[in-house]
Amino acid sequence: MKLELEQSQKWVELFVQKLETNKAYLNELDTAIGDGDHGTNMDRGAKAITESLSKKTPNTVSDLYKAVAFAMIQKVGGASGPLYGTAFLDMSKAVKTENIELSDLIQVGSDGIKRRGESDVKMKTMIDVWQPIADDLKSNKLDKANVDTALNSTKDMVATKGRASYLEEKSKGHLDPGSQSSAYLFESLVDVLGD
Site for ligand ADP in 4-63 (CB under 6 A): 30, 34-35, 37-38, 41
Question: Residues 22, 103, 153, 179: which binds ligand ADP (CB under 6 A)?
Answer: 179
Q: How many CB atoms neighbour CB 171 within 10 A?
A: 22
Phi, psi of 77 (to 5 degrees): 70, -160
As a whole number of angstroms, the distance between CA 132 and CA 139 comes to: 11
Q: Does 127 bind ligand ADP (CB under 6 A)?
A: yes
Q: Does 111 bind ligand ADP (CB under 6 A)?
A: no
Please calculate the CA angle 4-7-10 and round it to the nearest 5 degrees. 150
Q: Does 37 bind Mg ion (CB under 5 A)?
A: yes
Closer to ligand ADP at the Cβ: 30 or 136? 30
Question: Residues 110, 119, 131, 171: which binds ligand ADP (CB under 6 A)?
Answer: 119
Return the exposure string of 4-16: e unless at least 16 CB atoms fall within 10 Å of the residue's CB, then b.
eeebbbbbbebbb
As a whole number of angstroms, the distance between CA 13 and CA 133 comes to: 20
Question: Residues 79, 91, 108, 157: which binds ligand ADP (CB under 6 A)?
Answer: 79
From the DSSP assignment, how many helices (H) and strands (E) are in the chain? 9, 0
Residues that bind ligand ADP (CB under 6 A): 30, 34-35, 37-38, 41, 78-80, 83, 113, 117-119, 125-127, 161-163, 176-179
Residues that bind Mg ion (CB under 5 A): 30, 34-35, 37-38, 78
